[in-house]
Amino acid sequence: MKALTSSVLKRLADGDFHSGETLARGLDISRASVWNAVRDLEAKGIEVYKVHGRGYRLPYPVTLLDRAAVERHLGANGSRFTLDVRDTVDSTNSRLLERAAAGTPGGTVIAAEWQSGGRGRLGRPWHAGVGEALTFSLLWRSTRGAGALSGLTLAVGVALARALAAAGAGSVALKWPNDVLWRGAKLAGILTELQGDALGPTAVVIGVGINVRLSEATRARIGQAAADLETACGVAPDRNRLLAEVLIELDRLLEAFGRAGFAALRDEWQRHHAQQGRRVTLTLPDGTRRSGRARGVAEDGALLLETRSGTQRFHSGEVSLRPASARQPK
């Protein structure tokens, strides 16, 4: 997002009307520049009401991400994190991976209002307009190698389920391996990426995207059933407070994971398992499919699929999960 566009957005964030003349005078720019900034906001999925004689306003007030506000909500936990809050970035995960390679310490967080190249698992794009979602990445450092960190993405899902339930989103479910659902629709997604030696240490970048208040235009771009916290909670939560609460829960979860791995969190994950006991079809990277009944996950996070030939294990990154449509084993 351009600096000028960001400045206009901050003026409009209160949800009140602001005339082009007032905006131009306050920002020391031309009215044409104001108009161009408004068009840039609309191109990023932000609806802006334009009324002749009154000016511009957003459909509703937007609480923009603010580092000081997040730190206030973190309270005594603030010393455990280093926050970098940005107006715009291509991808919070990509930028944090670069910083991890340069030796930045664990607990570093990059959060952004707008990601031009936000991505999820298997390179899928993440769609959200400014103020519509909470997108951030957290760096966690482990002395262990990647093989000892299996199940980490599922463990992060447990932390999100806890934090979102505390925020008022009831009936949160987890879809293996990296989605959080509400009433069957995607509410949040997780992308974990690792750097390091086979035997450790390992730098883990945990990317999280949570839908807070989605516009109809964004829902149309997503291309799948999507939920948001405004619907799940009855009101859109303050994103600065939500970021702090999620970070605190992630910190607790990662400490527990570091001690005992995913095995200690397995039962809690399975209580939230959206497909537990249901017939499903898994699509493998080579395009082949496996059908059966989902029987939960193993202690290393592998999905257990009961098929005609017995129970098979599938690991994160190998399969995608879809509702089954054909006859399958009972």
One-letter amino acid for residue 97 of the chain: L
Residue 322 designated active-site: yes
Give the strand pairing for 82-89 and 108-115.
parallel
Contact 18, 10 (CB under 8 A): no
Residue 162 designated active-site: no
Phi (first) and psi of residue 101, to 5 degrees: -65, -25
Beta strand extents in 143-178 (DSSP E only): 172-175
One-letter amino acid for residue 43 of the chain: A
Kindly state the tokens that stand for 73.
């909500």
The Cα-based distances of 201 to 49, 116, 143, 197 in angstroms read 51, 31, 4, 6
Specify burial of residue 33 (Cβ count, 10 A radius: 0-12, 13-18, 19+).
middle
Kindly state the tokens that stand for 8.
């206009």
Q: Is the dihedral of CA 139, 140, 142, 148 positive or negative?
A: negative
Helix (H) or strand (E) holding 230: helix 229-233
Tokens 């059966």 belong to 292
Of 25, 183, 289, 322, the catalytic one is 322
Three-state DSSP at 133 gives strand
Tokens 């990601």 belong to 115
Of 119, 162, 186, 239, the catalytic one is 186
Specify burial of residue 250 (Cβ count, 10 A radius: 0-12, 13-18, 19+).
buried
Dihedral (C-alpha) 99, 103, 107, 108: value to the nearest 10 degrees? -30
Of 121, 241, 290, 295, the catalytic one is 121
Residue 175 designated active-site: no
Phi (first) and psi of residue 66, to 5 degrees: -145, 120
- Kindly list the catalytic residues: 121, 186, 322
